[in-house]
Structure 1
Amino acid sequence: MDKAIQWISDNQELLLSYLINIVIALLIFVIGKWVAKLITGALRKVLKHKNVDNTVSSFICSLTYGLLVLIAFIAAISHLGFNTTSLVAIVGAAGLAIGLALQGSLSNFASGILLITFKPFKAGDFVEVAGKSGIVEEVHVFSTKLRTPDNKTIIVPNGAITGSSITNFSTKDTRRIDLVIGVSYDANLAETKEVLTRVINNEERILKEPAPTIGVLELADSSVNFAVRPWVKSSDYWPVYFDLLQTIKEELDNAGIEIPFPQMSVHINQENTDES
């Protein structure tokens, strides 16, 4: 212990120099991160002012922030006396090894570039990707953030998105509602079609063009199924969908047209035996 204290006493200036360098290096890194946030925030405002899509803006800002933090880290360790040339070589070798170990992450990164370049969707679009549905909020370097209709957040890896089909429900102004309405085999088909047509014509949110389709779709096991396919504005899809189902049920009931439902008939055969 005495030798350690003596060594510290003899090397106070050297230790103080190291301590100052460490403190300065930490300050460089902390200030670098602060500057990175500042620059990223300013860049985000500029992109917003230029009306750049939120998806593209979020991606560029995330990438810029990561690069600036990396520069701050290299500057900090350079101040400590590390040879940054050797460090770059080490980082390159380590990057190769990490790249092989993190092929999935690199795939997500490349997929993020593709999503930004080809833009199959943008922020605010309602999409179905990789088996998940929701409103696109942000596209990051490695993943895309969705908000579900019940206000849950889903983070989907970009690789999973580009590796599967993408359904974008927001690219078109109009959508077709596909309803299948089953009625009893005893029902008058002409009267049924008349009721369905009246319901469609009375709904003001249904578009006149393209014209709605109403007709017998199939003769099913227990019902005659009608296809009811009107067109609406994309924003009216679900409100009209729900209202149509309710109105059709009510109007068919008023017309005395039965909507069949699964039933089970049980027949009991009782045998009478004579007592001997």
Structure 2
Amino acid sequence: MNEFLSAHIGTVGAFVGILLGTSIVAYIMDGVSKRFIEKATKLIKGDPIHYHFLRHFLSGLIYVIGISWAISAVPSLKAIATSILGAAGILAIAIGLASQNALSNIVSGIFIVIFKPFSINDRLRIRDNTLSGVVEDITLRHTVIRDFENRRIIIPNSVINQEIIINADFGDDKICKWFEIAVDTQTNIDLAKDILCEEALKHPLRVDNRKPEDIEKGKPEITVKVLRVDEYGIRLRAWIWAKDSTDAFTISCDMYESVKKRFDVAGISVPQVPKLKVPGTEEL
């Protein structure tokens, strides 16, 4: 036993040392590239998607080179690995299928980086709006989305590459927010519309999206229309532009509060939803 250890101590040490060195180099490279991405993004105000993908690609390449080097440093391990891979046809097929899936994710990731249907920090909605959040990272295998409850959604690149995506930040970040509210059918429509318009114009986060020629023609900055009138009341909609989806959400929340307070002062009530009466339950 001692003779065996003495004969192979150098080989084992080289194997362990290479693996340990690979992990250290990959860790250092990942940290350096991460800091570089942060500084480069702030300096040039560019899209960090290319840097993130390159960062993960370099880390993966370092591990592949390191593991291959470690195996080649052990002649017996190299021979065993070669014979197993050469003789096990079933294993080769399984590895081939797994590699095909992995390659599909890598290729899809490359397409995402090249064509950029979305970028880091973009707000996405997918799967018929059932999944939504902010793109946090794009790796060789998957895309990481942080939802609005601070959970991480991990989606393989090959899957998200085939999804229909709603990107709130693609091209132009500006958002036209639809603010809708219903009022009672006895309400003075003109008064309700004026309140919506006044409250929207008072909000500091609104954006005037009119063109110079629209301003010259006297086109109003805020448009309020009646969508429909039915047993549920009169539904009004105001179109309000915001810098991005975050500001649009803030405007919507603030508007509901300020408009409700104005309605209370003006004596405008929101419609009551008709209650369904079930026969035999009148006395309950």
Above 0.5 in TM-score?
Answer: yes
Give the paired residue count.
258
CA distance in 2, matches of 1:74, 1:23: 16
- Tell me what 1:117 maps to: 114
CA contact (8 A) 1:111 1:159 kept: yes
What letter matches 1:215 in structure 2?
K
CA contact (8 A) 1:78 1:84 kept: no
Deviation at 1:243, TM superposition (A): 0.8
Q: In the alignment, which of 223, 238, 263 is matched to residue 228 of structure 1?
A: 238
Deviation at 1:133, TM superposition (A): 1.4
TM-score calculated relative to the size of structure 1: 0.79
SS across alignment from 2:269? coil
Deviating more after overlay: 39-48 vs 249-258:
39-48
Which runs of 5 or more residues in structure 1 are unaligned? 1-7, 270-276
Deviation at 1:175, TM superposition (A): 0.9
Q: In the alignment, which of 65, 68, 84 is matched to residue 62 of structure 2?
A: 68
CA contact (8 A) 2:120 2:136 kept: yes
CA contact (8 A) 1:48 1:57 kept: no
Deviation at 1:112, TM superposition (A): 1.3
What letter matches 1:170 in structure 2?
D
CA distance in 1, matches of 2:38, 2:153: 25
Report whether the alignment pairs 1:197 with 2:200: no
- Tell me what 2:8 maps to: 18
Deviating more after overlay: 177-186 vs 50-59:
50-59
CA distance in 1, matches of 2:279, 2:164: 53
* Residues 145-190 of structure 1: per-residue CA shift (max 9 Å, x gap): 1222232222222222111112222242321111222122222222
CA contact (8 A) 1:215 1:226 kept: yes
Q: In the alignment, which of 261, 272, 275 is matched to residue 261 of structure 1?
A: 272
What letter matches 1:72 in structure 2?
G
TM-score calculated relative to the size of structure 2: 0.77
- Tell me what 1:182 maps to: 182
- Tell me what 2:52 maps to: 58
Deviation at 1:196, TM superposition (A): 2.2
Aligned 1:1-276 pairs, distance under 5 A: 13-46=3-36, 50-51=40-41, 53-81=47-75, 82=78, 86=82, 90=86, 97-101=94-98, 103-130=100-127, 131-171=130-170, 172-210=172-210, 211-234=221-244, 235-264=246-275
Judging changes above 3 Å, is the alpha-carbon distance between structure 1 residues 101 and 212 closer, same or farther for their aligned structure 2 residues?
same
SS across alignment from 2:200? helix
* Residues 40-75 of structure 1: per-residue CA shift (max 9 Å, x gap): 444445555554743322221222122221222222
CA contact (8 A) 2:137 2:144 kept: yes
Judging changes above 3 Å, is the alpha-carbon distance between structure 1 residues 76 and 232 closer, same or farther for their aligned structure 2 residues?
closer
- Tell me what 2:214 maps to: none
Deviating more after overlay: 45-54 vs 26-35:
45-54
User: Identity, % of aligned pairs?
Assistant: 25
CA distance in 1, matches of 2:167, 2:279: 55
Which runs of 5 or more residues in structure 2 are unaligned? 211-220
Q: Which of the pair has more CA radius of gyration? A: 1
> In angstroms, what is the RMSD of aligned CA positions?
3.2
CA contact (8 A) 1:56 1:139 kept: no
Deviation at 1:110, TM superposition (A): 2.0
CA contact (8 A) 1:40 1:65 kept: yes
